[in-house]
Structures are given as structure tokens and as C-alpha cells.
Amino acid sequence: MSQDAFDPTLDLVLERVVEIPKEWIWEAWTEPKHLIHWFTPVPWQTTQAEIDLRPGGLFRTTMRSPEGQDFDNSGCYLEVVKNRRLVWTDALVANYRPATKTYLESFNFTARLTLEDHPKGTLYRAVGMHKDAADRKRHEEMGFETGWGKVLEQLIAYMKGVKG
């Protein structure tokens, strides 16, 4: 089975062709100064971001709800291929240490982001991988496609404003 194999019983996917170059998307995903501007769907906010961009490195954000409650989201990068592929999980924290809890509380997941050149810009593919169908369903019901789609739109608008 390919490392990019998709299992519809366990995985969720958001795939879009976007009109900005993959280098801009990579920058948005890997630099905290950019990530904080688009990473959570409005009216939520990302108030902090810490990125140690290497396999085993920390990926941490603090998300603030509209009511002002903060949620820490920590994870570990598994694979980093500049401008092409980013894989991380919240089941681990920095240096591949097992996580003690997740902001989702009920399940962990691994995310795989792939970026490919496309005549209209970039083929953007985000996959959320889960240990079982129940976790996949919970994540879907939380609004995976809507939420990840909205933040992708926010990423595009933000980077066009920065790079425009």
C-alpha cells in the first residue's frame, strides 16, 4: 500500500485546485507569522503558533473560541518535504514523544498535506487519517470539510494580501 493510499473508511480528504503557487501555501503553513492569520475558521482565532519544521519537531498552536476560551493544540511533524509534503500528528509531541491529551479530547489524528503544481496554480490535498471509522465519523461531524475548506479560503485570501 502506498504511503499516500486513501482509505475512505478511515480518512477524510479536502482537495482543491487553488490559484496561488505552492510556495505561498508552504510559507503559510510553515511560518508562525503567517499561520496565526488564517489557521482557524473565523470567528475563532489563532493567538500563538510555534513551529520546529523538521521530522520530530513541534507543531503547536493556541486557538481561541469566540467566547474567549483557549485551546492548546500540540503535535509532531513526521515528514517535511519543502513545497510538496507536510505530515504531522497530534498523537505525538516533539521528539516523537506520546501525547498525553489532545484538544479534541476524544481522538487523535494524523494529517497529510500535499502540494502539486497545476496549470491553474496548485493542487492542494489535505487528508485527515484516523485509527478507526468511529474517529473518522466524529471528525467529519465536527465539520472537517467545512472547517478545513474555510481555513484554506482564509489562507488564500491572506497570502494574496501579503504577496499580492
DSSP 128: E
- Whole-number pLDDT of residue 100: 80
pTM of full prediction above 0.75 = yes
CA 49/CA 105 separation, integer angstroms: 20
CA 4/CA 32 separation, integer angstroms: 27
Residues of the chain with pLDDT under 50: 1
Encode burial over 21-49: b for 16+ CB neighbours within 10 A, e otherwise: bbebbbbbbbeeebbbbbbbbeebbbeeb
- Whole-number pLDDT of residue 94: 95
CA 109/CA 14 separation, integer angstroms: 15
- Whole-number pLDDT of residue 5: 80
- Whole-number pLDDT of residue 104: 55
Q: What structural domains and CATH numbers belong to the chain? A: 13-163 (3.30.530.20)
